[in-house]
Structure 1
Amino acid sequence: MIKVIWTILTLMVAGFAGTAAFVYSGFYNVAATEQHTPPVYWLLQTVMNRSVAVRARDLEVPDLSSDERFDAGLQLYQDHCVQCHGAPGVAPAPFSLSMTPVPPAIVQVGLELSAAEIFWTVKHGVKMTGMPGWSFKLTDEEIWDIAAFVVTAPLLSPSQYYELAEIEPDRPGLVENEGADKTSGDAEMGRVALRQYGCIACHTIEGITGPNAWVGPPLRRISERKYIAGVLPNSRENLVHWIRNPQGIDPLTAMPQLGVTEEHAQDIVAYLYSLGNGER
């Protein structure tokens, strides 16, 4: 028994010493330009999901079906939430696209979380995500209004959201390439750019750690596809055009304008074309 106790104590001391050495070594990169490692990301995501689910399960959800709640929630969402979570066909504000972890797309939130979980998250916020708690800024009734809108958001098309929110969609004409070589682009920089422009909020992307996103199709084996988004023949030049100006090509697409530069679009295409069977 004494040997067992000493073994346990030794392991505890060794574990504490190893943890302290890791922390003080500065080995773990906290830069927001670098994603968490898959185990760390999984741990943080799982802890957050379970924490919210447990704390929200006993909340009494009021009737959220009235038009008045939806309209009030839409206005509150525009005032306080769209900057980070976007909306159907509307991109989040540029500052939020490179947050780590990236704020989830509101369409996925509305389908994956219950109204009670949305209420709890908005009211209390989430540590280490940038999501603030709104309990001192909004009343409970206002937060329920937001929940009423969010659970309905996945049912809205971009054109419906534009009409309800009384906003004009940003649909400039086709963005021309600025003279870059069609085969140019740094694939490794493209891997970083896909995170920094928030693409992982909607797409699962091979080789990039991120949420289990399914708002947009998974981005893998792009070089083998015949068409881009079902509207453009697949080529490097067309994919650059699509990334930079999707709504200028297809006004009905829910993919928003993200302000991707020519150089970064070339880098992103270089990375996407390196997936699957390699360079085309």
Structure 2
Amino acid sequence: MRVNWRHLAIVLAVLPFIVLFVAWIGFFNVGASSGHWKITEWFLHFAMRSAVRTYALQVEVPHELPRHAIQTAAGHFARGCAICHGAPGEPRSPAALRMLPQPPELAQKIGEWNDAELFRIVKHGIRFTGMPAWPTQARDDEVWAMVAFLRALPPMEGEVYRQLAYGAGGTPSLRAVTIDQAVVECARCHGNDGAGRSSTIPVLAGQSEAYILESLLAFADERRPSGIMALASIAVDNQHFPELARRYAAMKSVGPPRPAPDPSLLEYGRAIATKGIVAANVPACVGCHEKPDRNPHYPNIAGQPSAYIKAQLELFRTGTRGGTRYSHLMAKVAKGLTDHDIEALANYFATLPASTATARR
């Protein structure tokens, strides 16, 4: 059979107008009550899986997932994911069961994806579903923390999940309207004592009111990128931010358990902290952060978890962390730090006594 190219060209030219006309008269049913045709459902899932697989090829998977960040990710999961996907001991919302497509129970589906594919889905979401992208595209460290949590999810018991996600803080409200509800929201990750519930969470107890308040505002306004804190901060009525800052500033800081790093690494960190690195234009850290009369917008980093300090220095070095009035100073300093420098500083400051902030309020 010979193909009449002239007729084929006419059909291809007219086809878009036919499709547009059919759409204009409302032929396509966009209602979710009847679901997709089987062929449509198959094609959408086929296209989604193929796209995730292809785009995941460019994802660089870390040598080891950050299991130390699982608690932080669990807190975010409880706030932003469990309502659709459910959680151990917590069934999916009845409304989610009527969604098209229906959000899957993740414990049953995680094994179908590799780490790179999970990262791709968590970071970028999936179009034409209710799966949103991560609240900020600048924090791959948070996305990998969620991947680590998802890997731990299938065998997780309900009590273990509740301890990770809520601690002693209790189940969060959909919107923290009162100050008591705001305290519960914060305590799920920061603890009732402000010491933080994992090594990726900062010690807030004893920080200055000015620093805590400015940080909360920066997170809520998305000037300081964090998908986890963005969701938590907008869940709290910002009229409570000053009171939250006062409460945490008044707490006595006890800090996390101190690590026992290699003595040579500890000494190198002390040298940088007290003398700086002249050749790299890195000033002594204690000149700004440990002075009793320091600027109240400079945090006290003594006694902070080493993993948290390391992550923040890396964010400063890449220019990712910002949004507060003095963040540009740290971004400039961090550019002169190597990975070894950061590791040494994080371990050194984590071993220092965490005392109540004495900065000017």
Partner of 1:148: 148
> What's 1:8 paired with?
8
1:151 counterpart SS class: helix
Is 1:139 aligned with 2:139? yes
Matched position secondary structure for 1:78? helix
> For residue 50 of structure 1, what is the aligned residue in structure 2?
50
Give the match for residue 180 of structure 1: none
> Which has the larger displacement, 74-83 or 49-58?
74-83
| Letter matched to residue 16 of structure 2 | F
SS of alignment partner, residue 34 of structure 2 = coil
Deviation at 1:58, TM superposition (A): 2.2
The aligned counterpart of 1:204 is none
Pick the structure with greater CA Rg. 2
Contact 1:64 1:148 in 2 (8 A): no
- Cα root mean square deviation, aligned: 3.0
Encode CA deviations 1:106-164: one digit per residue, 9 max, x unaligned. 11331111121111112111111021111527721111100111122112244543454
Quote the residue 2:60 is aligned against.
Answer: 60
Q: C-alpha separation between the residues in 1 aligned to 2:118 and 2:88?
A: 18
Once the two structures are superposed, the pairs formed by residues 1-280 of structure 1 within 5 Å of their partners are 4-13=4-13, 15-136=15-136, 139-166=139-166
Higher relative contact order (CA 8 A, sep 6+): 1
Judge conservation of contact 1:109–1:150 (CA < 8 Å) in 2.
Answer: no
The alpha-carbon distance between structure 1 residues 75 and 138, as it changes in their structure 2 partners (threshold 3 A), is farther
SS in 2 for 1:53: helix
Change (3 A) 1:86 1:76: same
Shift of 1:12: 2.0
| More divergent stretch after superposition (20-29 vs 42-51) | 20-29
Residue identity opposite 1:69 in structure 2: A
Distance 2:66 2:136 in 1: 25
> 1:90 and 1:110 mapped to 2: Cα distance?
17
Q: Give SS of 1:143's match.
A: helix
Contact 2:67–2:145 (8 Å) recurs in 1: no
- Distance change (3 Å), C-alpha of 1:128 and 1:20: same
Where in structure 1 do 4 or more consecutive aligned residues deviate above 4 Å? 63-66
In structure 2, relative to structure 1, the CA distance for the partners of 1:78 and 1:63 (3 Å cut) is farther
Residue 6 (structure 1) shift: 1.4
Q: Secondary structure at the match of 2:102?
A: coil
Q: Which amino acid aligns with 1:31?
A: G
1:251-279 CA distances to partner (integer Å, 9 max, x unpaired)?
Answer: xxxxxxxxxxxxxxxxxxxxxxxxxxxxx
* Paired residue type of 1:123: K
Identity %: 30
| Distance across 1 between alignment mates of 2:97 and 2:106 | 14
Contact 1:125 1:132 in 2 (8 A): yes
One-letter amino acid matched to 2:61: V
TM-score (norm 2): 0.42
Stretches of structure 1 lacking an aligned partner (at least 5 in a row)? 169-280
Report deviation, 1:14. 5.7
Contact in 1 for aligned 2:74/2:149 (Cα 8 Å): yes
For these two proteins, the number of residue pairs brought into alignment is 170
1:21 Cα deviation from its structure 2 partner: 4.1
Distance 1:137 1:54, change over 3 A: closer
